[in-house]
Amino acid sequence: MDFQKPSASQSQAIDEIVNLLNPQTRILAVTGAGMSADSGLPTYRGVGGLYNSGETEQGMTIEQLLSGSTFRNNPNLTWKYLGQIGKACGAAKFNRGHELLAIMEHHFEDFCVLTQNIDGFHRDAGSKNLIEIHGNLHHLKCEACDFQKQVDTFEAISIPPLCDQCQSLMRPKVVLFDEMLGRDSIAHLTRQWQTGFDVVFSIGTTSVFPYIAEPVLHCHQTGKVSIEINPTETQVSNLCTYRLPLPATIVLEEIWARYSNPKKSP
């Protein structure tokens, strides 16, 4: 990762953000593919940027291939691309940005991470109050029985993988395109909404899904603070209280350093 020092105006914005925070501040951090960019994962709408050129060799979009309907009709085809994504993620690991969010969770009374990412890095880094709204690519479940297992690397499994118990097809516990969100994730998110929050961080996400954009929209409507950390503009950029067009790790490092040791703040 190339070091990128915040400009004077960005540094001032970071100081203002830090001054808003205290141990009782209720924080929701919403993360997308940009959160894992510093881990070496290219960004593609949250699943690893292997297909930004458009159609795949099948003449279908990646959204079609990674859809619930394609998985039902041709699971081998969907698994071909899930396997490619899994192998692309295999050599990567969580980065300092993931670590900082996990650290912050221990220092604020109510700190929740809502992630679109399926790489599992937030969980690996130690986040506990975590909503993996699209699931986790490394958690597999059998389509026919109750067998489940954790897969740390896709290099060690056959594609498509078969159940250790009944030899039926397995699938990752992820939300494919055109599928409904998981009930447990929705219930967790609902509880978090009921608890409420004071500050929302939108980190590395284009916010194309309504349930990802909604926290920022809610802040805009209710006068609460929202901070966007993203090198590129998004659908919610003009709604955020603060916008920092920098990589996630750089901004989070600055925020945490100034919050945890204010005497050393610039």
Give the catalytic positions in this structure: 134
Other beta carbons less than 10 A from residue 128's beta carbon: 12
Question: What secondary structure, in 3-state letters, does 123-142 show?
Answer: HHHCCCCEEECCEEEEEEEE
Contact (CB, 8 A) for 28 and 114: yes
> What single-letter amino acid sits at 245?
P
Beta 26-31 vs 199-203: how paired, if at all? parallel
Rounded to an integer, what distance in angstroms lies between the CA atom of residue 222 and that of residue 92?
39
Phi-psi region for residue 213, left (φ > 0), alpha (ψ -120 to 50) or beta? alpha
Other beta carbons less than 10 A from residue 25's beta carbon: 16
Strand-pairing partners, residue 243, are 228
